[in-house]
Structure 1
């Protein structure tokens, strides 16, 4: 298993967009890269899961196990992971190969962008317990991520380069 970059942030913050662009960049320098996307896993392997606390824990566990078993040089995991214990669970499963990457974007900006229409559905009550909207299911940003990317301040290419620079500085 190579390094696992665990992208955490609100829905619509840019996790998957950055992961896809980073994959292209890393493959361009000869690295083997895989993406285990939270939306894809939720809509395939874990399609029976909702947004209850128990379902979120199980979805998180499955994704961490998939990442741990990958043979890629880099495994990119864009996943909301709203609580510190979610991220700690993933780190425990993955071990010292785990890199926590916080994709920072304000809730208001994510609501305004609403690229998937999920916030509209959550605010209308169609999606109960939606992370960041439901009081019972807040998004708690990491206190000490390995790297932070603010997508309101950095363009996509600058975000990707910041991550690549971090990986080089850590000799990954």
Structure 2
């Protein structure tokens, strides 16, 4: 009798485990959000399932180490850059090296990395929320809130859009 009880319990546990398993091979991507065209919804967004979020994390680590070659290892040779300060144009590894040469250190504090993809598109946009602290060799210090969008194709980013807000100095009492 005990053998039958153990067998029945084993079968029931197996059935429970199998019924709770998700079929990972056929799951559909979650579609949500909208991409607009001429002020009207054009297509939906979905979470990207490739590794651009991991790539961007590597880029942030290279950036914090002021390693321009490490940053550009994951980009096209020239990146289209639309910066928060109004610059609109190409950005290269040499330009980043020049920028790093004026700094003592820099720290990109990331609070979120969100990879999204438009329905039917191969392009992936990685949205990054965070802040940046910049210490210049001239003794200057600045801190900014940042929101950025990195546009990837074939595992490399080619365009960066950037928005910022100055973080006010704390009131000293």
With the length of structure 1 as denominator, give the TM-score of the two structures. Answer: 0.23
With the length of structure 2 as denominator, give the TM-score of the two structures. Answer: 0.23
Greater strand content: 2
Which structure has more relative contact order (CA 8 Å, sep 6+)? It is 1
Structure index of larger Rg: 2
